[in-house]
Amino acid sequence: MSAWSEAARARGESIALVPTMGALHAGHLSLLAEGRRCAQKLVLSIFVNPMQFGPHEDLAKYPRDLPGDLAKAASVGCDMAFVPEATSVYGHGFQTAIDVREVSQGLCGARRPGHFAGVATVVCKFFNIVRPHSALFGEKDFQQLAVIRRMVTDLNLPVEVVGLPTVREPDGLAMSSRNVYLSPSDRQRAKALHAGLSAAKALVEKGELRASVLLDAAMAEIAARVDRIDYLEVRAADDLKPLDLIDRPAVMLVAAFVGGTRLIDNLRLG
């Protein structure tokens, strides 16, 4: 992979990277399409990263479809698929992790200890291996995107991080590889996450700026239709600091269990 990238750079070609864990859906394809537009060479990485999974999470059963993923990547003009084995990424004696402290606090960082250290470490490794000029991520994983942006800034990594809006199903459900876990009835209930976020956004558009009121409106839509809410919070969009008042660009973030599936979503406010 590194040799391929070095040759492309030597020819003066720009490289865009879309890091994924596979099980590609339309959200991933939108990232690839934008990467194809903004760079001369497009790289897709597929790696189910064990470092970002907790001991009781779904590493073993995470959806995998390499032949299907490669076909989808080819359909949007991807030039290279980087599909390393875990033993290659984390060699014998591996013991280094990147801790992006503040933006990884709370939200998924509190519920999944070590998750964002695993994300930051593997993304940094892939940046060093692929050496892209730009890397594209979806805003559905809003905290993840904030962690990666902070890491790139703090470590002076020469990569432009591009965040793209969440791609949704026609009924509003955020596209996710984990949606395949949902039964038909759970799939219907999962729409509550976007419904709650949308209710809060509608109030902001009418002039309501108190986070407590917005959270109550979202909770009214979500609580009765999911099995458990992991978190529902309003944070500043740039540094993810908690907000009581929408006095700057903000985002409402939610994580909830529908059946046995943990889903996350978010919506910008203001």
**pLDDT score recorded for residue 19:** 98
Structure tokens at 181: 């876990």
* Strands of the 261-269 sheet, one edge to the other: 228-236, 250-258, 261-269
Same domain, 25 and 64: yes
> Which sequence positions are flagged as catalytic?
28
Return the DSSP state at 44: E
The predicted-structure confidence for 6-39, as pLDDT tens digits, reads as follows 999 999 999 999 999 999 999 999 999 999 999 9
In contact, 32 and 80? CB cutoff 8 Å = no
Same domain, 14 and 80: yes
Structure tokens at 177: 């590889």
Cα–Cα distance, 42 to 80 (Å, whole number)? 7
Structural domain boundaries enclosing 38: 2-164
For the chain, list the strands marked E by DSSP.
15-20, 41-46, 80-82, 134-138, 160-164, 228-236, 250-258, 261-269
Return the DSSP state at 249: S
The predicted-structure confidence for 132-180, as pLDDT tens digits, reads as follows 999 999 999 999 999 999 999 999 999 999 999 999 999 999 999 999 9
Same domain, 154 and 189: no
Structure tokens at 37: 């537009």
Domain end call among 141, 164, 187: 164
